[in-house]
Structure 1
Amino acid sequence: MTIKLIATDMDGTFLRDDHHYNQRRFKRLFRQLQKRNIRFVAASGSSFPRLAREFQPYVDQMDFISQNGSVIHHGHKFLAAYPIEVTALERVMHILDRFYGPQDINQLVVSGPTTSYVDQQMDAKNFAIVKLFYERVVRVPDIRQVFSEYPDERFTKISINFAPHIDLNRVAAVMDGYLPPSLIVENSGFNTDLIGNAQGTKRNALAVLQHRLHLRDDEIVTFGDNENDLGMLAMTSRSYAMQNANPVIKLQAAHTTDIDNNHDGVLETIEQLLKNDY
């Protein structure tokens, strides 16, 4: 069956642990994808500006699913977003304040489609990490007041990076008990949870692109390594969990890559698929 779209998660999947990828190999492979009219989609928990930086030479020939599916771009063109109601955002902040203190949270990031916000009290080390994943970041006097400070912003995601002593399974249990039904919490790796509109998932965002391109499920190939990739992996019979993924993720995907993210696992698999595709 002919491949018409390839969607891949970024960190822990397409990118090495040092957050880079094999530029030369990708350039060669991307030319092959274009010749075959195969769309390449970057699907990540981080922001569109970060993804646009990673793929700067190819932006206008790609699609982007950012913030775990809350924001969708076709090249630089904004397609759709799944915003969060302000009352729901305030509810999340209340829950965090009730159950967790400053020693429990390293990074708290509130994002709109292209701009992310952090508290001005965030230290330089954590701010540098946030900039790596979100690119366009604004410090605000009080992150809990960001909703009233930016009333015209369409907030789409809250990212919480917890300290190592926090068990994310317990976080999920707390959130499931207190979050409004309109919101979903997903683990994005690196001890980070992303909270957003329940409709803003990678699977739903990919379905938007699928509908635009009139694609069948079996014309799509997906790659992932974490919980937030499960929906995307489950939608097609041509899904791949990374060799370095958690065993639970591997069980949900149709296939597992032969090699891990640090050794071009995605690119190697795509090359093999193109050799066998017809």
Structure 2
Amino acid sequence: MSIKMIATDLDGTFLRDDHTYNHRRFAKVFRHLQKRGIHFVAASGSSYPRLAREFAPYRDQMSFVSQNGSVIHVGQQMIRNYPIKAAALARVMHVLDRFYGPNDINQLVISDPLTSYVDQQMDNHNLAIVKTFYEQVTRVPDLRHIFAAQPGQDFTKISINFADHIDLQRVAATLDQYLPASLIIENSGFNTDLIGDAHGTKRNGLALLQQHFNLSADEIVTFGDNENDLGMLAMTSQSYAMQNAHQVIRMQAGHITYDDNNHDGVLKTIEQLLKNE
């Protein structure tokens, strides 16, 4: 079966560790994809504005699964988002305050489809890190009451970057026990957990695009490196875990890239796939 769509995670997968990529090589690959009618998708825990900036020259010709699947765009048109109910959002804030203090959390971010919000007390160092992944960031007087201050707004994702001394496996066990069943928590690497509506996953976002473009699963190629990529990798037999991925991820993908994210692993694999087409 021929390839009709390629979807890749960004950080730790398509991007190098310094959050850059080989622009010249990608431009050449992208031209070949367009000639063959292969649609390119960026799927990430980051916000749409960050993804649109990373792929600015191509954004009208590709699609985006952002915020781990809570927001889906075809080009610049948002076709779906999965908001968190206000009561569930309030519950998350309550649970975080109950179990974690200010020294346990480096960055707490609440996002709507385009804008991400942080508390005005966040220091400049952590704010700079947040802006790397979320682009459009606004400080608010009290993040924990943002849903009350903006009652009509759809909030789609909560991102929590924990301090190094926090055991993320214990975090997942704790939050799974106390959070509403309507929410899902997924690890996106870098000591960060993402919480959103249970339907807002990369797998569901990519499935929506699959339906939109009328594709079968075996016409899709996926790339990933972390837990939040597993659902997307499981969608198709043409799935690739990165050479630098954890062994658990590598074991569940159909293939493993020859090169890691710092050596154009995704682009080299795509080039080889196009040669074999």
Report the TM-score when normalising by structure 1.
Answer: 0.99
Aligned partner of 1:52 in structure 2 is 52
Following the alignment from structure 2 to structure 1, what is the Cα–Cα distance between the partners of residues 264 and 149? Answer: 43
Per-residue deviation, 1:213: 0.8
Aligned partner of 1:166 in structure 2 is 166
Q: Which amino acid aligns with 2:25?
A: R
Report matched runs for 1:127-276 at 5 Å. Answer: 127-276=127-276
Per-residue deviation, 1:149: 1.4
Following the alignment from structure 1 to structure 2, what is the Cα–Cα distance between the partners of residues 235 and 205? Answer: 11
Q: Which amino acid aligns with 1:158?
A: I
Q: Which amino acid aligns with 1:137?
A: V
Following the alignment from structure 1 to structure 2, what is the Cα–Cα distance between the partners of residues 27 and 181? Answer: 43
Report matched runs for 1:12-91 at 5 Å. Answer: 12-91=12-91
Q: Deviations over 1:190-231 (max 9, x none)?
A: 000000000000000000000011101000000000000000
Per-residue deviation, 1:264: 0.2
Aligned partner of 2:104 in structure 1 is 104
Q: Which amino acid aligns with 1:140?
A: V
Per-residue deviation, 1:152: 2.1
Following the alignment from structure 1 to structure 2, what is the Cα–Cα distance between the partners of residues 258 and 149? Answer: 49
Identity %: 73
What's the secondary structure of 1:40's corresponding residue?
Answer: strand
Following the alignment from structure 2 to structure 1, what is the Cα–Cα distance between the partners of residues 150 and 45? Answer: 22
Following the alignment from structure 2 to structure 1, what is the Cα–Cα distance between the partners of residues 20 and 235? Answer: 27
Q: Deviations over 1:83-113 (max 9, x none)?
A: 0000000000000000000000000000000
Report matched runs for 1:4-15 at 5 Å. Answer: 4-15=4-15
Q: Deviations over 1:91-148 (max 9, x none)?
A: 0000000000000000000000001100000000000000110000110000001111
Following the alignment from structure 1 to structure 2, what is the Cα–Cα distance between the partners of residues 150 and 212? Answer: 32
Q: Which amino acid aligns with 1:57?
A: P
What's the secondary structure of 1:127's corresponding residue?
Answer: helix
Unaligned runs of 5+ in 2: none
Q: Deviations over 1:46-79 (max 9, x none)?
A: 0000000000000000100000000000010111
What's the secondary structure of 1:275's corresponding residue?
Answer: helix
Per-residue deviation, 1:151: 1.7
Following the alignment from structure 1 to structure 2, what is the Cα–Cα distance between the partners of residues 153 and 259? Answer: 42
Report the TM-score when normalising by structure 2.
Answer: 1.00
Q: Which amino acid aligns with 1:183?
A: L
Following the alignment from structure 1 to structure 2, what is the Cα–Cα distance between the partners of residues 150 and 33? Answer: 42
Q: Which amino acid aligns with 2:88?
A: A
Following the alignment from structure 1 to structure 2, what is the Cα–Cα distance between the partners of residues 155 and 47? Answer: 12
Following the alignment from structure 1 to structure 2, what is the Cα–Cα distance between the partners of residues 108 and 158? Answer: 7
Following the alignment from structure 2 to structure 1, what is the Cα–Cα distance between the partners of residues 86 and 218? Answer: 38
What's the secondary structure of 1:106's corresponding residue?
Answer: strand
Q: How many residues align?
A: 277
